[in-house]
Chain A
Amino acid sequence: MISSLFRLALRNLNILIGLAFAGVLMLALITTVYGLITEPAAPTAEHEFHREHKPLKLASDGPFGQFDRQQLQRGFQVYKEVCAACHSLRLVAFRNLEDLGYNEAEVKAIATQWAIQQPSINPETGETATRANIPSDRFPLAFANDVAARAANNNAIPPDLSLITKAREGGAAYIYSLLTGYQNQPAELVHEFPGAKTPEGLHYNPYFPNLNIAMPPPLTSNDQVTYQDGTRATIDQMAKDVSAFLVWTAEPNLETRHQAGLATILFLLIFTLLTFGAYRNIWRGVKH
């Protein structure tokens, strides 16, 4: 009796295993639903007040997108005069600036005059020293190490900006929204979530994932920088320009990629049409 039951179970082992997994899952389902009913998820300030990034249109968008070099130069100027004191650009080299339309001499001048120097050693004593940047150098770090960065920035590390538009959901639009999104904390937020009051030293920004960002508003007034091409430097304009610049730092080969892509797709379309023709030609007369 027992052995025949055992044999029956063995023959239908698959069904037993299937029912076991499904049964445990149903048990889990019940607990999940029960948990949801007994302890419904409390709304959080992040959930209620976080905003999706604003739309941003850039010349580099889309399959035909190319950089607007004037804008990149303006963005570089904003980076240099506003961001560079805290945020490094460690993957980009001064020589890369030639892509923005600067000539060799201008790049050399930018490198030499850069506020932060390259770490080096004193050739006589071997002690640490600094030297002027040369075009083949990458942009020097804003802080020697993370400890120094934290110490100088209220315990927050300013992220490196080389890849920032690829390293954040939303990319350039997120950067643009963040830079223009500083505001006073809404009264209803504090009313609804008294515990979520922006702590001392942080700044309320609804585009930042947890709403409170350590970075003080970097762009505070119109004409904070003086653009050489005469564009009026509104906060909005500066935020757009620096976002465009950071698209370039993250993806300097974007234009080549777009051009190569269009050529490749065109080539492949012709190839595919030809193979389709060849396929139909070979199969003509063969019913299938």
Chain B
Amino acid sequence: MATIDEVPPGGATGSHDDVIENPRRRDYLSIGAVAFAGVGVGVVALPLINQMSPSADVLALSTTELDLSAIEPGQAIKASFRKQPLFVRNLTPQEIEAANKVPLSDLRDPQSLAERTKEGKANWLVTLGVCTHLGCVPLGAGEGENKGPFGGYFCPCHGSAYDTAGRIRQGPAPLNLAVPDYSFTSDTTILVG
């Protein structure tokens, strides 16, 4: 910031004395004004940035209630949670057994089926239908879809295969299918989110 001793005024002849005498006497005013302007711009930037965060109506849709009563063992449904696909699968005893037989040390992202389901509800596998590789929707929730070599889900984009507990077993995906926060509000309904 230039101060007046750096830029002498062109035509201020004759009345210069007090400037020369103590040139920096009130520079704090300029510094303060510029500092205030900086703070002001910073504060105004906040709403300009925050407007891109999810709006109130989007946040209001952040929970989904689902009725599970119509899902038979071995079947799965695709629902929508925060505009993302949500897979709810009613596992058969064989599928549960197959999932429990796998040693955790074999897994890329070690998690047991019990950790991925609610206590006493081990047959209900609730996961996001979003492949942890690059976000495609894996196959396997719909009737007759390819469940992949491990009998769970199979992502057609880059060949990631998930087992009956939705855990990554083969292919490029790094993590198991995510389990969202949810709770059973009754025996057959869940509240996701």
Contact = CB atoms under 8 A, between A and B. Distances in A.
A and B physically associate: yes
A285 B19 contact: yes
Contacts of A274: 29, 32-33, 36
A8 interface: no
Contact of A284 (B18, B32, B36, B57): B18
A285 B60 contact: no
B16 interface: yes
Contact of B15 (A93, A281, A285): A285
B57 A287 contact: no
Nearest to B65: A134
A274 B29 CA distance: 6
B94 to A, nearest CB: 30
B: interface residue count bin: 20 to 34
A179 to B, nearest CB: 30
A285 B18 contact: yes
A136 B36 contact: no
A282 interface: yes
Contacts of B4: 282
Given A95-B60, A135-B60, A285-B19, A277 B29 contact: yes
B9 interface: yes
Say what secondary structure dominates the interface of chain A: helix
Nearest to A283: B9
Nearest to A94: B60
Interface string A241-285: 000000000000000000000000001101100110110011011
B80 to A, nearest CB: 13
B102 interface: no
A63 B27 CA distance: 35
B15 A271 contact: no
B30 interface: yes
B37 interface: yes
Contacts of A135: 60
A286 interface: yes
Nearest to B34: A278
Contact of B36 (A93, A271, A281, A282): A271
A278 B37 CA distance: 13
A284 B25 CA distance: 12
26 contacts: A93-B60, A95-B60, A136-B61, A267-B36, A267-B40, A270-B36, A274-B29, A274-B33, A274-B36, A275-B33, A277-B29, A278-B26, A278-B29, A281-B25, A281-B27, A281-B29, A281-B30, A282-B4, A282-B30, A284-B18, A285-B12, A285-B15, A285-B16, A285-B18, A286-B15, A287-B11
